[in-house]
Amino acid sequence: MEGENGENKAEGSIQGYESLHRLFESNLEPELFKDVSRIILGLNCGSPLEHITLPENATSLSSKFNFDLQAFSFKADKEMLREPRVVRVGLIQNSISLPTTAHYADQKKAIMDKIKPMIDAAGASGVNILCLQEAWTMPFAFCTREKKWCEFAEPLDGESTQFLQDLSRKYNMVIVSPILERDLKHGETIWNTAIVIGNHGNIIGIHRKNHIPRVGDFNESTYYMEGNTRHPVFETAYGKIAINICYGRHHPLNWMAFGLNGAEIVFNPSATVGELSEPMWPIEARNAAIANSYYVGSINRVGTETFPNPFTSGDGKPAHMDFGHFYGSSHFSGPDSSCTPSLSRYRDGLLISDLDLNLCRQIKDKWAFRMTARYEMYADLLKSYLEPGFEPQVIVDPALGKPEHR
């Protein structure tokens, strides 16, 4: 996650591709708008993504509990030897519910109470796989460097897991739950962990965050270090999924490794704010989906979280009490470069998409990225780079009068 101080503004302010799309739609001739839309959101099998009509009991929950609800469909070309492999996938973004000064148990319960109707809406809509945002059970308090927030950490079979296990069984749904984990078997070490709960309520496995930021207010290494689970892909009843937690999206090799292990859908549960990362938000996941021929579901929390004590950013500026505005804008990206409009920048939301997993292989066949990659060449460079005596491959212009090697 990465940051800026932000104020909550009226809905309809800049919201990535979605607001640009609406701006162009209202100001351009239809044919020109169609071409602009093709560039901003891409085309799926030659056409814009289609909206999905959701059941009334899902839309009524959206109205009653005031969360953004959108749904789209990614298609694949019809094949002769394979039936379509359509999976309905959901992403939930949300703000915290109580002030950060409230009792921690009350804060956690209030968040669970908030997302329950959104999970119910996902269940009513037939969602097969659902992913929540990074550290969803708590405020993203790692900016403060105060260790008291470690109290939110829980074991893999803790309260939040049990809460979601009941819902996964009720709706026959795989749920990805990113939490602050307390590892009871290894000295109560804390990790940033995503738990994959199967559609029968069983724990399929876990993944721990590979890359920990050290920029601005991102003081996460005060609480946990880089994970030790490498790049697992989880074969579920509905498809092969992986989780690239938050800051890992800035590392192309991290995305690639999940693809090499066979992922068809990679989730990027995040907590990111403001000016530093927002221009990158609609680009990185979409690029990863294209480069690795899989779907990406990007989730970001919403709102501005204010903490009891001021903290500094190590930049000489005055101490402050909030991280900045978490800008939401969750979205899906397809392997064919198409992407959905984003959820709200300010509201809680549930984004649902039908993903035909056949598209992953079709795009691999079309572009042949795996076949044309030079993995042996990359491996040789990386192996050499890790050696203390590594020499960069730089060819110096003789006219510069410098030594050939430097």
Catalytic pick from 108, 114, 209, 240? 209
Q: Greatest CA separation found in the chain?
A: 75
Catalytic pick from 108, 114, 143, 246? 246
Q: For residues 107, 111, 116 and 119, what is the CA-based torsion angle, rounded to 10 degrees? A: -150
Report helix, strand or coil for 110.
helix
What single letter denotes the amino acid at residue 393?
Q
CB 211 within 8 A of CB 268: no
Task: Identify the helix (H) or strand (E) that includes residue 23.
Answer: helix 16-27
Contacts of 382 (CB under 8 A, 6+ apart): none
Lookup: tokens for 333: 């990206």
The yes-or-no answer on residue 317 being catalytic is: no
The DSSP letter of residue 210 is: S
- Give the Cα separation of 175 and 288 in Å (integer): 22
CB 346 within 8 A of CB 11: yes
What single letter denotes the amino acid at residue 127?
V
CB 119 within 8 A of CB 166: no
The yes-or-no answer on residue 143 being catalytic is: no
- Give the Cα separation of 333 and 281 in Å (integer): 12
Contacts of 193 (CB under 8 A, 6+ apart): 156, 178, 179, 180, 181, 206, 207, 208, 209, 227
CB 348 within 8 A of CB 94: yes
CB 257 within 8 A of CB 266: no
The yes-or-no answer on residue 151 being catalytic is: no
| Cα 259 versus chain centre, distance | 16
CB 259 within 8 A of CB 294: yes
Contacts of 97 (CB under 8 A, 6+ apart): 107, 110, 111, 113, 114
Catalytic pick from 134, 181, 278, 305? 134
- Give the Cα separation of 260 and 323 in Å (integer): 35
CB 80 within 8 A of CB 60: no
Residues recognised as catalytic: 134, 209, 246
